[in-house]
Amino acid sequence: MKKLFVVLLIAVTFSPVSVWSQITKDDYLRADSVMKLGELVYNEVSGVNWIDSTNSFWYRVKTRDGVEYKIVDSEKATKKAAFDVQKLVDVLNEQLERKTTVDRLRLDRLKFDLEKNEIHFITENAYWTCSLKKYILVKDSLRKERPDRGYWGKFWDEQGNDPVVSPDSVWTAFLREYNVYIKNNKDNKEYQLSFDGSKGEFYSSYFSWSPDSKKLAVNKVRDNYHRQIFFVESSPKSQLQPILHYRDYLKPGDAVPVKQPALFDVENKKQLPVDGTAFLNQFDLSNPRWRKNSEAFTFEFNQRGHQVYQVAEVDATLGDVRVIIDEHSPTFIDYSGKKYRYDLEDKNEIIWASERDGWNHLYLIDAATGKVKNQITKGDWVVRRVLKIDEDSETIFFYGSGKNKGEDPYYLHCYRVNFDGSELTDLTPEAMNHDVMFSKNLNYFADTYSTVQTPPTTVLRRASDGGIVMELETTDIKDLLEKGWIAPEPFVAKARDGKTDIWGNIYRPTNFDANKSYPVIEYIYAGPHSSFAQKSFRAVNSPFSSLAELGFIIVQLDGMGTSNRSKAFHDVCWKNLKDAGFPDRILWIKAAAEKYSYMDTTRVGLFGGSAGGQSTLAGLLFHPEFYKAGVSSCGCHDNRMDKIWWNEQWMGYPIGPQYEECSNVVNAGKLDGKLMLIVGEMDDNVDPASTMQVADALIKADKDFELVVLPGSNHTLGGTYGEQKRRDFFVRNFLKEETPDWNKSK
């Protein structure tokens, strides 16, 4: 199929797809060809990289003349070619077995040494140094295999850390038989500091020394249940027979480790009692973090159920514990997405993020009393992410969104504000989505801004006031437009409450004809951990651009229950993931169809993966009057089957009836539309048994559906084969056309 694609592409790219006649392999090739549209975008900056602590940075850009690397001197406001790319390619090809070209050149971990006028980089599996005076190239070494970071869910080995040396180098802390020991590095004498460690309740090896080396803090850990999931690799490359795999994998309701802070007086070789009974009902308790003055250490406590989050302090002399910051919520605290803490030790203050007033904002906390000294940011908008903090000038740089009236509330703007909340300044005033990168000295930042309809512009700004120092690049999409590209259309409609604006995008095929009728397919992801509708410019969207080209309107939006709006907007998801914003999504699509009659609301489908796979099936089960067909990939169909941290965060603890109420497995008998399930047999993100249990429930309910199991695949929308199956599914069910005979010889 790939060879056929190469041959036919020139002749058929962007010819109209005859969606109301027989769908052929050529039609699919035409649809695939839109994925090449990205090659028609020029002068778009690819990454800004500041050079050490200088005021200079470099970036890569593809121009009509080829790939270029440019270097900018912010103080001089100059821009020039960083080096001659063709010369570098020429000297590389003298040493490479596999030749490269300017367009194919990839320089990983590129670094500039401005003093020596040379560059360092990785390409073709080796480290290189190139002098830019005479383009003398030296291969430094072969690239070592990157260490395997391991599986994301692997149980933390609390006893596996190396011994830890004290700041003054006199002592070494280590574990022996589950207890805490120290060794004097001068005379090698050892001292046992704890005596109550055991196999099931042991001390951690992640020791934290006080800066003066007189105290030692560590957690004592009561071990937990080690659940594992199992799956079979049916078709391994290494052997004929299948391979059984397992992964560590805690699920909602499982017992978690229980940690208690412990404190040791090194000078007197004794343990000081710390009363941690108030923190036993924990989801997590962090490792100790010492104050610079060695007078106390802090830890963070996340109560099971995520409705209490505290920062506590332990007095290093007496072991007394007091709570400094005490966050409570009747629903959930978004610890995984919005928690931010920055200690200003010299001032005994903490910068802290909280949604306590209904919006995510920053607060200045008195670390001695725990009281709020002042709210740094406030209003009906949100702080999205703290970027930089300048302690000398008492300034915070951060992303915020939703502050500007009449603008998409998800657009990221870069702001600066003083610790006392004064002089809040939007450094990026253009009504677009901004992506910034600061110099290390915080004097300048590069800013790339765009919308889904407006191509990116990259400028250099002053960090003091956002003033533009110089324009760097303006993206050229002339060729893209000539090929029939149609920009996505942002669309806004009211939510279920009749007041709140719901924002999303409408995507049309390049051969769009307003006189025809189009099925509507929603690409859905309603995970409460973020928002997902596209905000920046993108020529193509890999999940759905080629699907649209076969004759569909694609929509993507963020309904209630997703993040980055008010706390009330977000709280809709709590113990209610089956909601997935569907009342808002349905109203939004109906409003769009009122404006555009070619959007056929009798043929509405959806597809998505992971949480989007869960929502896809939920749409069919709980809203069959509107959604008629869906393709669900690697879905977490019952929140009791998925990873503990994500599901307890939104569905709550203990495991109550809400889990069954939201379960696609329990409610499988409600299926009324057309369904395809896709799952990778090796999925270690969402237990693949979740999809198989849905299939089992559907079979027991005598429901018709399609099941695609992908051998050897992990967490995926389906890959190339899955996309083929997904497109066939919607073509058959919505366009009522026969799909190609893929088994027929090419």
Average pLDDT over residues 11-31: 65
Q: If you average pLDDT over every residue of the chain, what do you get?
A: 95
Using 50, 70 and 90 to split pLDDT, how confident is the model at 5? very low
Find where tokens 């040494």 sit: 113
With H, G, I as helix, E, B as strand and everything else as coil, classify residue 162. Answer: coil
pLDDT at 265 exceeding the cut of 70: yes
Q: Comparing C-alpha atoms, which of 236, 311, 210, 331 is closest to residue 575? A: 331
Give the mean pLDDT of 590-606.
98
Q: What is the pLDDT of residue 17?
A: 43
Q: How confident is the model at residue 150 (pLDDT cuts 50, 70, 90)?
A: confident
Q: Between β-strands 599-609 and 627-633, what pairing exists: parallel, antiparallel or unpaired?
A: parallel
Q: Which one-letter DSSP state was computed for residue 35?
A: G
Q: Is 213 left (phi over 0), alpha (psi -120 to 50) or beta?
A: left
**Do 472 and 446 contact (CB within 8 A), yes or no?**
yes
% of the chain with per-residue pLDDT over 70: 96
pLDDT at 477 over 90: yes
Percent of the chain with pLDDT over 90: 92
Q: How is 460-483 classified by DSSP, letter by letter?
A: EEETTT--EEEEEEE-B-HHHHHT
The neighbouring-strand residues paired with 270 are 265
How many Cα atoms occupy the beta-carbon half-sphere of 697 within 13 Å? 20
d(CA 308, CA 327): 6
At residue 744, the pLDDT reads 87
What average pLDDT does this structure show over 491-509? Answer: 98
User: Among 139-143, 282-286, 329-333, 574-578, which stretch is predicted with the lowest mean pLDDT?
Assistant: 139-143
Q: Are the C-beta atoms of 223 and 200 separated by less than 8 Å?
A: yes
pLDDT band at 97 (very low <50, low <70, confident <90, very high): confident
Q: What is the mean pLDDT of residues 366-391?
A: 97
Q: Distance between CA 69 and CA 84 in Å, rounded?
A: 8
Region of residue 91 (left: phi > 0; alpha: psi -120 to 50; beta: else): alpha
d(CA 547, CA 549): 5
Is the pLDDT assigned to residue 8 strictly greater than 80?
no
The model's confidence at residue 22, banded by pLDDT at 50, 70 and 90, is confident
pLDDT tens digits, 183-213:
999 999 999 999 999 999 999 999 999 999 9
* pLDDT-based confidence at residue 300 (cuts at 50, 70, 90): very high
| Contact between 80 and 70 (Cβ < 8 Å) | yes
Q: Return the CA Rg of the chain.
A: 29
pLDDT in tens, 641-666: 999 999 999 999 999 999 999 999 99
pLDDT value of position 21:
54
Maximum Cα–Cα distance across the chain = 89
Give the pLDDT of residue 635: 98
Summarize pLDDT for 396-412 with one digit per residue, the tens. Answer: 999 999 999 999 999 99
Task: Answer whether the bond into residue 429 is a cis peptide, omega within 30°.
Answer: no
The candidate with the shortest Cα–Cα distance to 306, out of 648, 616, 656, is 648
Q: What is the DSSP string of 170-224?
A: SEEEEEETTEEEEEETTT--EEE------SSEEE-S--EE-TTSSEEEEEEEE--
From residue 716, give the alpha-carbon distance in Å to each of 19, 250, 526, 680, 725: 28, 21, 17, 7, 14
Does the structure show a pLDDT above 70 at 15? Answer: no
Q: Is the pLDDT of residue 59 over 60?
A: yes
**Span 450-470, average pLDDT:** 98
CA atoms within 13 A on the CB side of 603: 19
Q: What is the pLDDT of residue 154?
A: 87
> Do residues 396 and 376 lie in contact, with contact meaning Cβ atoms separated by under 8 Å?
yes
Rounded CA gap, 470 and 76, in Å? 10
Query: In sequence order, what are the beta bridge partners of 414?
Result: 399
Report the SS3 class of residue 584: helix
Q: Is the pLDDT of residue 145 over 90?
A: no
Q: Are strands 674-680 and 627-633 parallel, antiparallel or unpaired?
A: parallel
Residues 533-557: tens digit of each pLDDT: 999 999 999 999 999 999 999 999 9
